[in-house]
Amino acid sequence: MEELNTETKKAEPDPASKIIGLTGGIGSGKSTVAKFIEDCGFPVYYSDVKAKTIVNDNEDVKQKIKNLLGDASYDKNGIYNRKFVGEKVFNNDELLSQLNEIIHPAVRIDFEEWVERQTKYLVFKETALLFELKLHLQCYKSLLVTAEDNLRIKRVMDRDGKTYREVESVMNNQMPEKDKIKMADYIIYNNTNLDDLQEQTEKVIFEIE
The residues spanned by each domain of the chain are 1-43+122-209, 49-117
Q: What is the mean pLDDT of residues 88-111?
A: 92
Fold of the 1-43+122-209 domain: Rossmann fold (3.40.50)
Position 2 pLDDT exceeds 70: no
pLDDT of 143: 98
Residue 15 has pLDDT above 70, yes or no: no
For 56-65, write each residue's pLDDT tens digit: 999 999 999 9
16 pLDDT band (50/70/90 cuts)? Answer: low
The DSSP line for the chain is --------SPPPPBTTBEEEEEEE-TTS-HHHHHHHHHHTT--EEEHHHHHHHHHHH-HHHHHHHHHHH-GGGB-TTS-B-HHHHHHHHTT-HHHHHHHHHHHHHHHHHHHHHHHHT--SSEEEEE-TTTTTTTGGGGSSEEEEEE--HHHHHHHHHHHH---HHHHHHHHHTSPPHHHHHHH-SEEEE-SS-HHHHHHHHHHHHTT--
